[in-house]
Structure 1
């Protein structure tokens, strides 16, 4: 009898010691793999999930939209400036389709691996570790390390999101203040002003107490988007003086920004695992596809019409292009700065969870003053995001950098790599050729996006600030 990734006895598997029984078991509905293992095909992970407060399809859809609609959509006009309005429109749709396809790969791999291990659900790192341990023999040496690799990318991405939040809030506060006071005050001073309350927000240890902030932020964001659309469409939209196709140099910046904006890969498995009817998450008309269609339409609309309105003058956040002498536009900047500010704790929650629970507390085995050291960890992470924002107070470059660096790996390359490992011994003939060929292409695209996008963003940062 083998054990699962948590070290528990797993009756679903039969290993070399039980080899004499595999012939009989295969006659009773058990599927054999080339690793000498077999698993029952009648275990349904969905039926064994025990969720205290399961979410409905509509609630999951709302959460997915909420996870994807934030600072990223406000940066889309700037992304279109780098790509051109035709390339930007087509590129956003194509990237959206690829991202959605890769999310489906991850969800299907989780379901398949949960069936084999007879466990109800897995996290992203657990899916990666289990897939590699079941995959090609020459890759199994990597399985003990892949969870840390995934966690590292997730951590960098979440901290990067928090950096974007700090720069966004400070930049919009400065835009408001410049109209009323001396505009020579550096944006870093506004970052310093918001630092202490930011630390206090991240001292909230229970996610339940952060939920009301999210509800308020959603309402404020919805109203703000409506006002932004008013400013975009109050004057005739024209393509005159706007580039239909951008330069090759600008495309990696566009790619990174769109990935940052579209991908919510960190919340996909938690949302699916908390659903009342998780089977409805996938499928052609499932929650995921419905959400991604809406998200892509909104992103193309904001990017296209925002760029056609402001052209090459578009800023890293479209809010910074709104008139400074009108009370309504100033209110929008303040409202969105407030909404992003109060949800910083939610954005940082995953980073804190990974750092504290998986590494600091577990690695150091802290037994005394645990709460005190957790607060120290929380404060330290906020200071890290603050110092990075102070060092590079540029919204569009931050968004492009972390999109290319983390989401090319988390959202594209790793899901495709996981699917190859998951079905390595199950697919034969043309199905195996398709499995390897299609996913290798996605892995290559992800790696190229990571390398070229990160290099381009870093080169722009160095050129701008050093």
Structure 2
């Protein structure tokens, strides 16, 4: 039975109008019927009922959409400029790496904002509806931008790799060079870098076979407890990083307070550990990590500035004073702590999977990793060598503590570097927070529907942040170098060496590859046990020679 023309007109009038650009680009119109578009996401259902003479016979049934001039108010222009700047910052910041740390999907979708926009559209009238419709389209564009196919070039992947590895851990390397001796430390740095390269490439090869995250590989190749074990080491490594940064920042704040107060500061150094919580707690409550993009790019800039100043101060010290006292080529007593600290500095394996997944051509990832590790290793050796030669056995747990405390440049560096570290803390803590939160609140995907769930999640995040500060408070500033080595030996060694060898052993087909995997696992277990023993033994011994305080007792 032939359908009535009036019924067809009713159907076409009830269906929302299709923009002219979309209709001409996504469908081909012939006399008597409309050919559905080939793309499923073009806005037209594939099983659309054929309509007769849509454009040629019935032009009045679909009026052309009037072109409305773009809004050019100051508020709109400012909002658009801010949005473009935010998207630019996101493209160059490291937030996306931590949102997919170790391949885990950790970032939350901010669905509350969509409901908020919906309420505004209902109550705001026609003009607000048009404005909110534009905002919604912009948000959809951003979502499409974030979900599009990987397009990172080799250069951008290299940039992300260097940002992932060149962090605040470099500050602890000069003390590690004292623990190992200059010559032995350089050799160990080269050896560890080569072993890290082998482990990194094997982990990525395994991921290309199994797919999934770092933890998923353990569950697929072995069993679910191995997956939980990987997540456990990720948690303790990230918490260890954040706790060590609490100690580092407290030392900077204490030094600056003594200088600015002319030694009238009455607050002990250990109590400054709690100060970063003022910034960390509010930032840790942010679940959509993309909102921290400006924090990430600001922290990257400040850390780069700090590295340049470190090279300047150590070079100036060598030029004006000469080589520091008691510089040793080999330290056979404490070189185990050097291995732990070096592993702490090289631990960025959780960011490799997000980088390779973002690359347009993942086959070039070995090139990125090789060149990137060479650059990182050379920078590490440069800073460690210059600092140890400049200050000798008087080198402190963080080299920045050796700089002239009353220098204006040093005060600026201490404050800016502390700010950079504090802004980095939410990113370092984010994977641990999300992994634990997913385990505790696995029955509740989101707290939007329950204020009790949302408050419980917020309380949990505050507790974890305070627990990191409490751990740092218990360790104390005098044991910073020992604690860094402990984190490196206990948490970082399994992630860097043991698990990559274990996982690749399951997918390797050649006997030679399996032998290399076994050697990698043996190396990891061996240095984990040895460095753990040396580090624990160092806690029972008195701290090394301390730098004379700026304020006399």
Query: Normalization by structure 2: what TM-score?
Result: 0.67
Aligned with residue 340 of structure 1, among 414, 421, 433: 421
Separation of aligned partners in 1, 2:505 and 2:166: 31
Instruction: Summarize the Cα distance change of 1:361–1:376 in structure 2 as closer, same or farther, 3 Å threshold.
Output: same
Partner of 1:127: 217
Partner of 2:431: 350
Partner of 1:42: none
Aligned with residue 173 of structure 1, among 243, 253, 256: 253
Partner of 1:380: 463
Question: Does the 8 A contact of 2:324 with 2:391 survive in 1?
Answer: no
Partner of 1:309: 390
Instruction: Summarize the Cα distance change of 1:86–1:184 in structure 2 as closer, same or farther, 3 Å threshold.
Output: farther
Partner of 2:125: none
TM superposition shift of 1:371: 2.1
Determine if the alignment matches structure 1 residue 319 to structure 2 residue 403: no
Separation of aligned partners in 2, 1:464 and 1:399: 17
Partner of 2:284: 202
Question: Does the 8 A contact of 2:279 with 2:422 survive in 1?
Answer: no
TM superposition shift of 1:238: 3.3
For CA contacts below 8 A with separation 6 or more, give which structure has more relative contact order. 1
Question: Does the 8 A contact of 2:444 with 2:453 survive in 1?
Answer: no
Q: Which whole-Å deviations, capped at 9, do the CAs of 1:6-30 have from their partners, x for residues lacking one?
A: xxxxxxxxxxxxxxxxxxxxxxxxx
Instruction: Summarize the Cα distance change of 1:189–1:50 in structure 2 as closer, same or farther, 3 Å threshold.
Output: closer
Partner of 2:536: 458
Matched residue pairs, number? 388
Aligned with residue 79 of structure 1, among 155, 173, 176: 176
TM superposition shift of 1:229: 1.0
TM superposition shift of 1:365: 8.1
CA root-mean-square deviation: 2.1
Name stretches of at least 5 consecutive residues in structure 1 with no aligned partner.
1-48, 115-121, 133-142
Question: Does the 8 A contact of 2:182 with 2:329 survive in 1?
Answer: yes
Instruction: Summarize the Cα distance change of 1:418–1:240 in structure 2 as closer, same or farther, 3 Å threshold.
Output: same
Separation of aligned partners in 1, 2:274 and 2:204: 41
Higher CA-based Rg: 2
Q: What are the equivalent positions in structure 2 for 1:61-80 lying under 5 Å apart?
A: 61-80=158-177
TM superposition shift of 1:126: 0.9
Q: Which moved more, 1:204-213 or 1:451-460?
A: 451-460
Partner of 1:35: none
TM superposition shift of 1:450: 1.5
Question: Does the 8 A contact of 1:392 with 1:461 survive in 2?
Answer: no
Q: What are the equivalent positions in structure 2 for 1:51-450 lying under 5 Å apart?
A: 51=148, 54-114=151-211, 122-132=212-222, 143-181=223-261, 182=264, 185-234=267-316, 235-236=318-319, 238=323, 241-247=326-332, 249-282=333-366, 286-357=367-438, 359-362=439-442, 368=450, 369-393=452-476, 394-423=479-508, 427=509, 431-432=510-511, 434-450=512-528
Name stretches of at least 5 consecutive residues in structure 2 with no aligned partner.
1-145, 544-553
Separation of aligned partners in 2, 1:59 and 1:184: 48
Instruction: Summarize the Cα distance change of 1:244–1:273 in structure 2 as closer, same or farther, 3 Å threshold.
Output: same
Separation of aligned partners in 1, 2:393 and 2:324: 12
